[in-house]
Amino acid sequence: MDKILCIYFRDEYKDIIIDCLLEDKFDVFYYFPCKQYNTKLLQSAKEKVTGRIDYGKIEVMINDDNKDRIINKLYAMFGKDYLKMFIYDALER
């Protein structure tokens, strides 16, 4: 069964993550800008004043054959502080 991998990341990593997905032959995915509200990882003056961090979210279709490879690759590139991933079952109607 196909699954949806949701990847949340600091927005400055967007181009690197997209290039990584394309390089690994993931050619259908969606990008959404979003904010992370956080009191511990604020870095810039803007983040400290607003209490939020510019984040992005990518949703990509994966299957059991390729999910571990891309998840491990992305965590190796960015670590788990600025990158969060969740997997959901894809439902088609």
Residue 76 domain-assigned (yes or no): yes
What is the CATH number for 69? Answer: 3.30.70.120
d(CA 58, CA 14): 9
More confident site: 74 or 46: 74
pTM of the model: 0.82
**Token reading at 72:** 């491990």
pLDDT for residue 74 is more than 90: yes
User: 7 and 31 in contact (C-beta within 8 Å)?
Assistant: no
Question: pLDDT (tens digit, 9 = 90+) per residue, 14-56?
Answer: 999 999 999 999 988 999 999 887 666 566 656 555 567 789 9
Residue 28 domain-assigned (yes or no): yes
Residue 93 domain-assigned (yes or no): no
Domain hosting residue 53, numbered range? 3-88
Rounded to 5 degrees, φ, ψ at 81 are -75, -40
Instruction: Give the number of domains in the chain.
Output: 1
